[in-house]
Amino acid sequence: MKKQERADHINERLDELFPEVPVPLDHKDPYTLLVAVLLSAQCTDVRVNLVTPKLWELADNPYDMVKKTIQQIEDIVRPCGLAPRKAKAIWHLSEILINEHDGIVPNDLVALEKLPGVGHKTASVTVSQAFGVPAFPVDTHIHRLCQIWGLTNGKNVVQTEADCRELFPEDRWNDLHLQIIFYGREYCQARGCDGLRCMLCQEMYPKRKSPITYKKS
């Protein structure tokens, strides 16, 4: 298969495997999603979902969040790792949302990326999952799988995102980036498939004999 043929095959097969695409992080609205995505950095979605109910009891909107101390926030989010940094980011982004956006999470990447603790990936996930804006956030699963599947050279996550946006239809980006993550977790884990074992690898590369080494992000 050529690269575009592989992309088309992945698009079709993942939609068959994962016709329902739930948002992995529990949230109530764009603000709680933004905070949850921020907490998910170097932390599993499962652990974040265990922590956020207690955080929402403390404060589930920017106006209530800034009334709390950073230490109160940190005490709750500690299980997610990087707690001091994440707690400060949550408090300060809440303050900025109030002062500059009337307490409302903006629905564009540029404004989101200006918030403390919000990088391109976090902003992309937020606009995609909270507002339905087409975006293709690239996590470690996507960066790894797209190399194994021959869709990108793996130079960096920026290049992987650009390659995916070129290969896949824009109206599929929001679902597809989640479907690739789900596939990586269920069928093509880093320790479970080296480009030779999972169904998609075998379907697209039936003659592949040597394990594939990928570049980490």
CB-based contact 1:162 (threshold 8 Å): no
121 is catalytic: yes
CB-based contact 174:135 (threshold 8 Å): yes
CB-based contact 133:107 (threshold 8 Å): yes
Catalytic residue from among 15, 60, 139, 175: 139
8 is catalytic: no
In angstroms, how far is the first alpha carbon of the chain from the final one? 26
- Token pair for residue 121? 């990936």
Catalytic residue from among 15, 102, 114, 121: 121
Name the one residue in this structure whose structure tokens are 């948002």. Answer: 23
Round to whole Å and give the CA distance between 198 and 195. 7
How many residues are present in the chain? Answer: 217
Which amino acids are annotated catalytic? 121, 139
